[in-house]
Amino acid sequence: MSGGKAARLVTRAGAAADKPAAGASFATRLIAWQRTHGRHDLPWQGTRDAYRIWLSEIMLQQTQVSTVIPYYARFLDRFPDVAALAAAPVDAVLERWAGLGYYARARNLHRCALAVVVEHGGRFPQAPERIAELPGIGRSTAAAIAAFAFGARAAILDGNVKRVLARCFGIERYPGEAQTEREMWALAEALLPAAGIEAYTQGLMDLGATLCTRGKPRCEACPMRDICIARRDGRQDELPVAKPRKALPARTTGVLLFSDGERILLERRPPAGIWGGLLSLPEVPQATPEAAAALARRHGCRVLHTQALPALQHTFTHFKLTIAPLLCTVEPAARHAAESGWQWLPLATALDAGLPAPIRKLLAGG
């Protein structure tokens, strides 16, 4: 890496032009810090198995490490390799993913496993560009897989890395803007070390997750404290520049909780969209006794009693959802077969199914 090249890229991204040494020492500082102070005991570390590395990278997208660890272990217990994952029905994959959120990740995980088995003979391609062609794998994730599994010299640029670079090099614009992101990619590539790519890549992840956090960064322990522009100027709270805020739109929906005392009625959601492929309570524009009666007729039973339950609030990335549940006691439906895509599940085992988090919370009495 050329220190001059890194300095020029930093300048174009909006940082001060008088820090040519910053780019030159960034990788050296990071590798040394990671080897001494970084994380070394995560369950997906210490392996070159691309399947396990890929699984961890997908699970860690927008999810905390502490949340991922038990899901990772349970997932591997059920799907120990890419062939087992590809051979499983997508419903089984969604069941193991239930509660982790962002369910498109699970559907893409299954699609990717199929592609690896069918198109690549069960082995992940080694080049990051080829890995990025697989379903659900973007440029940064592909680079991480290639670095950890195959030692490829490739740059990552997830949200944590953007924060580290924005603070260290004083990048003054919102990282989500297309031009700023292009310049940050160029900077990330210019900073790559000639050797030690695994420690460097892990170091970027560790630094953003443990020291250079969004709130209350631990600057006194940071290996970049002497070259970080945000620390020098006291701007840790200002960088990276925040996305312009927009008020989240609000939506309301109703759900019907049909129970005959022993079982509840669940509907398989469409593959695409919110909670795609999961089982959920029947959704209606308004949870009214009239809506309940209409659904009961479809399933050959009769509503005996209805009771409105407290509304639930759930926030997605792009909107806030208010869920209004209506508990519907129906006559025993043991002899009635559910329509295609619908299931009567025993109350005792319903929580083991692949359910959206707010629906699971509702059924658990939360």
Q: Is 119 a catalytic residue?
A: no
Among the listed residues 53, 200, 205, the one whose alpha carbon sits nearest the alpha carbon of residue 137: 53
Omega before 289 within 30 of 0, i.e. cis: no
The dihedral of CA 129, 206, 161, 110: what is its sign?
A: positive
From 255, 263, 271, 261, select the one nearest 343 (Cα to Cα).
Answer: 263
Name residue 7's amino acid.
Answer: A
CB environment 105-122: b (16+ within 10 A), e (fewer)? bbbbbbebbbbbbeeeee
Q: Give SS3 for 239.
A: coil
The active-site residue, picked from 57, 95, 183, 267, is 57
Alpha helix (H) residue ranges in the chain = 3-13, 20-37, 50-59, 65-78, 82-87, 90-97, 104-120, 128-131, 139-150, 159-168, 178-190, 197-206, 229-233, 289-298, 357-363
Catalytic residues: 57
